[in-house]
Amino acid sequence: MRWLKTVQNPKLAVIQKKMAEETKYTEENIRSLDWKEHIRMRPGMYIGKLGDGSSGDDGIYILLKEVLDNSIDEFVMGSGKTIEVSIQGNRVIVRDYGRGIPLGKVVDVVSKMNTGGKYDSKAFKKSVGLNGVGTKAVNALSEYFRVESSRDGKSASAEFAQGNLTDEEFLEESSRRKGTKVTFVPDEIIFKKYKYRNEYVEKMLKNYVYLNPGLTIVFNGEKFYSENGLKDLLGESIDESDMMYPIIHLRGNDIEVAITHSRTQYSEEYHSFVNGQNTTQGGTHQSAFREALVKTIRDFYGKNYDASDVRKSIVSAVSIKVMEPVFESQTKTKLGSTDMGGELPTVRTYINDFLKRYLDNYLHKNPETAELLQRKILQAERERKDLSGIRKLAKDRAKKASLHNKKLRDCRVHLVDSKKERYLESTLFITEGDSASGSITKSRDVNTQAVFSLRGKPLNSYNMSKKIVYENEEFNLLQAALNIEESIEDLRYNNIVIATDADVDGMHIRLLLITFFLQFFPELIKENHLYILETPLFRVRNKKRTIYCYSEQERRDAIEELTGKPEITRFKGLGEISPDEFKHFIGDNIRLAPVMLDKGMSIEEILSFYMGKNTPDRQKFIIDNLKVELDPVSA
């Protein structure tokens, strides 16, 4: 046996000794954090990403959801049919008329970890929050937090600042109606320059009433109510004229589903829920639903249809209730449970048995719907076969492109995060031109931010078939980068950000990309994945300070704020901004304008108006709206 002789480098030995002395690990290194310190130091563990409110899954909405979940659980348990929500500026108030928190435990429930009524499964059999963390996180991450409880003619309240108790009150006699009222203001130290957007709040509240028929939620004076549950949800998600057949709506003891197919949409769209929680990343229940749907339809028609043909263009919703559900993160966006709980079978078996019985019965009783559904499947089959050759060529081109060119500079999160736990942090910037993509590539966070570089202006895809996605190299590669050919369930990036110059050409590219997503992947916009990157138009600076301005008004304000005669630079394009400066605009200070659908128009109406032939109506619209507003972008 040969032994390797090691030679000690004297200089290296000195360096190692010094490092060892500087990094001693002793009792002094051991530190215990109390509950609020831990939450404030590691907020992502409790509420996911922080954000500024431009995204629907930003932390400020999770805070609202955590408080609302408690009020919803009261309704589910048969107490309190109305919940009032008010958001004025940054102050949030949630008032329910449930049983109220036991008065002697008001402080403990919002400030002691592992304390809550939901550990008693008799009181809350199928609740969302079971680990007693939710309201504690809201308390710790709020600069002001107040909880009031009224019951049995008495009331108790407590006030906190960043989780620290500042005031407490107990009244032996109170005329307040029973229930709980929570007021909080998210801490600007944690959530920098944040703003609540009503569109995201309204979507959350609507989901709550769809899942709880009979519940009324009043938001800033506007009432939300649903009688038909998930049928109403689908009715809002897809225009009636675009439905291939009337919505199939089925209900069981612990399950509810709604199903239809779109005439124009290409990919699959799912809205899934567990115990009232919107599981935006799906999970075992959504996978079981997709599988059971195909099996039931194959059995009904006696045909071994391809699964992709059955599910193509589907728009559906599924909601189940599970005993003590296990989610894959504190934000509860993906179900990990495989069992329904108690003596019930597995989630997979339960959903399969339900659809096998109820969907099969529905199709037998409604032959017209069954015929339309089969027609849609056969149409999908024909289209798949017609496209099979070109799809294969397109996939081969995409594979070669990913190996031999630099259109996509991916981020590392996909290489190290097989469980997609950091999926919410991932972003893809779509840029045009080498200079712009080069600046972003050099200044991005390589762990979570990827860059896709366009070559010139994209094609106007309005009124074109899916065939163009495979024939057009830019669209084909973009689809491959996003991994959305079959379903957005496999979307690789949570945030898709269009980053173009703020000039006429940049605006045109932006419009063409939005058209592409609306035409072929509208659910990306419906589910709030698409954004516009706002970059500064001006840099105003003197010897002591630099201010970046995103509008003429901000430029004027900056000139007044800086003494003397500041230097003013007008950025003509993204490529003119140096990578060092760009870090400010795509890091913690990033400004994103979400692309949202106009509630009053269908997707076809939107595309026809903006991208169809020129009309007097559009000319008038352009003249009347010469001032561009990007907060938010309205598709």
Cβ proximity of 147 and 158 under 8 Å: yes
Query: Does the structure show a pLDDT above 60 at 324?
Result: yes
Whole-model pTM over 0.85: no
3-state secondary structure of 240: helix
At 540-586, the pLDDT tens digits run 998 888 888 888 898 999 998 887 888 998 887 777 778 888 888 88
**Which H or E run contains 60?**
helix 59-76
pLDDT for res 250: 96
Lowest mean pLDDT among 9-18, 294-303, 469-478, 587-596: 9-18
DSSP 475-536: HHHHHHHHT-SSBGGG-S-SEEEEE--SSHHHHHHHHHHHHHHHHH-HHHHHTT-EEEEE--
Instruction: Encode 537-559: b = buried (16+ Cβ within 10 Å), e = exposed.
Output: bbbbbeeeebbbbbeeebbeebe
DSSP 252-264: -SSEEEEEEEBSS
Domain regions of the chain by residue span: 44-225, 230-379, 405-535+571-634
pLDDT for res 119: 42
* Range 322-351 average pLDDT: 75
At 121-139, the pLDDT tens digits run 444 455 555 445 688 999 9
Average pLDDT of the chain to the nearest whole number = 83
* Range 73-86 average pLDDT: 91
- Backbone φ/ψ region at 187: left (φ over 0), alpha (ψ -120 to 50), beta: beta
Q: Which of 470, 473, 469, 484 is nearest to 519 (CA)?
A: 469
3-state secondary structure of 466: coil
Residue entry with tokens 């499964």: 121
At 157-198, the pLDDT tens digits run 999 999 999 999 988 888 889 999 999 999 999 998 899 999
Residue of higher predicted confidence among 468 and 392: 468
Determine the straight-line distance between the first and last CA of the chain, rounded to whole angstroms: 73
Q: Could you tell me whether strands 591-596 and 633-634 are parallel, antiparallel, or unpaired per DSSP bridges?
A: parallel
Query: Does the structure show a pLDDT above 70 at 334?
Result: yes
Could you tell me which residues come within 8 angstroms of residue 126 by beta carbon, excluding any fewer than 6 positions away? 76, 254, 275, 321, 322, 323
Q: Which of 154, 180, 156 is nearest to 168 (CA)?
A: 156
pLDDT for res 130: 42
DSSP 65-121: HHHHHHHHHHHHTT--SEEEEEEETTEEEEEE-SS---GGGHHHHHHSTT-SGGGST
At 399-409, the pLDDT tens digits run 766 655 668 88
Question: CA–CA separation, 582 vs 573, rounded Å?
Answer: 12
Q: Determine the topology of domain 230-379 in CATH.
A: Ribosomal Protein S5; domain 2 (3.30.230)
Query: Does the structure show a pLDDT above 50 at 518?
Result: yes
At 255-280, the pLDDT tens digits run 999 999 998 888 888 999 988 888 88
Query: Does the structure show a pLDDT above 90 at 33?
Result: no
Residue entry with tokens 């199928």: 126
Q: What share of the chain is helix, strand, coil (3-state, %, to 5)?
A: 40, 20, 35
CA-CA-CA-CA torsion for 349, 351, 354, 355, nearest 10 degrees? Answer: -110
Question: CA–CA separation, 33 vs 284, rounded Å?
Answer: 35
3-state secondary structure of 227: coil
3-state secondary structure of 154: strand
Cβ proximity of 337 and 344 under 8 Å: no
pLDDT for res 31: 53
pLDDT for res 3: 36
**How sure is the predictor about 93, in pLDDT bands with cuts at 50, 70 and 90?**
very high
**Highest CATH level, class, for 44-225:** alpha beta
Query: Does the structure show a pLDDT above 90 at 246?
Result: yes
CATH number for domain 405-535+571-634, candidates 3.40.50.670, 3.30.930.10, 1.10.560.10, 3.40.50.720: 3.40.50.670
pLDDT for res 362: 96
